[in-house]
Amino acid sequence: MREGGCSSLQSWSQFESFCFIIPKTMHTSLALLLLPLGALSLPLEPSSPEFDPSLVARCGANPCEGVPSTGHSDSLCDNKYLGPKLLTAAEDPEWSEMFNGYSPLGSYCPKAFLDKYVPSGKKYEYPDKDGALLDSAGVPVTTEYTLHEGYELDRFGTRYGGYLAPKDTPFSWRSIPPSNLNKYPDSPEYNYWVWRVKETFNITGGPIAPWFGQPGYGLQFYHEGGLQELEGTFLELVEKKKCSCEALHDILKA
């Protein structure tokens, strides 16, 4: 160090050069360290919205107001009866055809949906007559259908429920609750199951009544004893990717 020490230097550049002895290549690094925290933060990818934009547009910035939690964090408003928090199936090429245009709660806001379809807070209120469309006299519009070998059917939900539909029926036509799309252990994606008829049989079927905020009017088949009575004898469970859907009028005869 020069005679007189750092205190005898007359300029900052002299002080910097002879007292700090900092190489010029480090100037920028020190300057960066002195910047306010966050000044150099990199832009983050947009986070996923907490709610579907259409739900916010319909129900406000807090669509969950007044909705009780059932402790299911993957569900909308943490309430299992409202289905998945965000459903992206319509954007997935594998599922888009079935989910195109589907709105999980229809035109309802979460609380209004629960008030109408889950008034007890403990279970859904289902339509009368097994969900069949009723005529003006209140009689189910049903008939006996003959399902022939090779015809394919599907359902969303548990494996052994009593309802089936022609494979690839749009989800909104089925009038089933949004919780049928919740995630469950040991269940396939969207709880979607497909069967192929292995032996021709008869089953009751007809158009579906509108319910759960959905338009309905798809074709449903109903077997009161559940599918466990049909699987193995009349139906075989197949993987979705192995299905080869045939035209309804070619194989289904009423």
pLDDT by residue (tens digit) across 145-204? 999 999 999 999 999 999 999 999 999 999 999 999 999 888 899 999 999 999 999 999
214 a catalytic residue:
no
**Candidates 14, 155, 159, 214; catalytic one:** 155
* 72 φ/ψ angles, rounded to the nearest 5 degrees: -110, 95
Helix residue ranges, H only, the chain? 12-15, 27-33, 53-59, 96-99, 110-117, 248-251
Q: Is 109's pLDDT higher than 90?
A: yes
* Sign of the C-alpha dihedral computed for residues 114, 115, 117 and 119 taken in this order: positive
Which residue among 14, 159, 214, 220 is the active-site one? 220
CA quadruple 63, 69, 70, 72: dihedral sign: positive
How much is the average pLDDT of 41-66? 78
CA distances from 19 to 9, 31, 66, 76, 103 (A): 9, 18, 66, 63, 70
| DSSP-derived 3-state class of residue 217 | coil
Q: What is the pLDDT of residues 177-187, one digit of tens each?
A: 999 999 988 88
- Residue 24 phi, psi dihedral angles, 5° rounding: -60, -30
Bigger pLDDT: 82 or 9? 82
Domain boundaries, the chain: 1-35, 53-117, 129-253
239 vs 228, more confident: 228
pTM of this structure: 0.75
Distances (CA, A) of 138 to 134, 158, 223: 5, 29, 21
Whether 220 is a known active-site residue: answer yes
